Amino acid sequence: MDIVTAQARSKIMSAVRGKGTRLENEFARVLKQRRLGRFTRNPQNIYGHPDFVFIRPRVAIFLDSCFWHGCHWHCRMPASNQTYWRAKLERNRARDRRVTRRLRQAGWIVLRVWEHQFAHAAKRENIFRKIQTALDRAAADAMSKRHSSA
């Protein structure tokens, strides 16, 4: 049972931001600190609106919060209206799979980072190694394509 009215809950939930979150801001700060290259935040012209994009190497990064993306370890299901929330989170996960698949088919390298991974120092290092590897791979692929077409 919810302890606030449906109207109050609606107001609370409508205030949840989809971009410019604390997680995104911290991630951007660390990306800049690591000097991994130029990135764009929340581009509206790229399918699925990734949180971060390295345009030229075609690397898209999504930051998935444990609640909204239904993390199997950390998502705490609300006590009320569980039927709605289960369906909502499953739709979110299905959308995430669809977006990832479509971007990969279009030649993008897609990385998904869970909120809990970024919060954990050792896992954070692994995330940035994966990003660097993706950027290096994209650069190598671009060089290979240039040499093969020459």
Confidence of residue 148 (pLDDT cuts 50, 70, 90): confident
pLDDT, one tens digit per residue, over 6-44 is 676 555 555 455 567 999 999 999 999 999 999 999 999
Please provide the CATH number assigned to the domain covering 18-140: 3.40.960.10
pTM for the predicted model, two decimal places: 0.82
How big is the CA angle at 31 (ends 52 and 53), to the nearest 5 degrees?
20
With 90 as the cut, is the pLDDT of residue 87 above it? yes
pLDDT, one tens digit per residue, over 94-138 is 999 999 999 999 999 999 999 999 988 888 999 999 999 999 999
d(CA 119, CA 145): 37
Beta strands in 1-150 (DSSP E): 40-41, 52-54, 59-64, 109-114
Q: Among 1-10, 53-62, 78-87, whose mean pLDDT is lowest?
A: 1-10
Q: For position 125, what pLDDT does the model report?
A: 93
For the chain, what's the residue count?
150
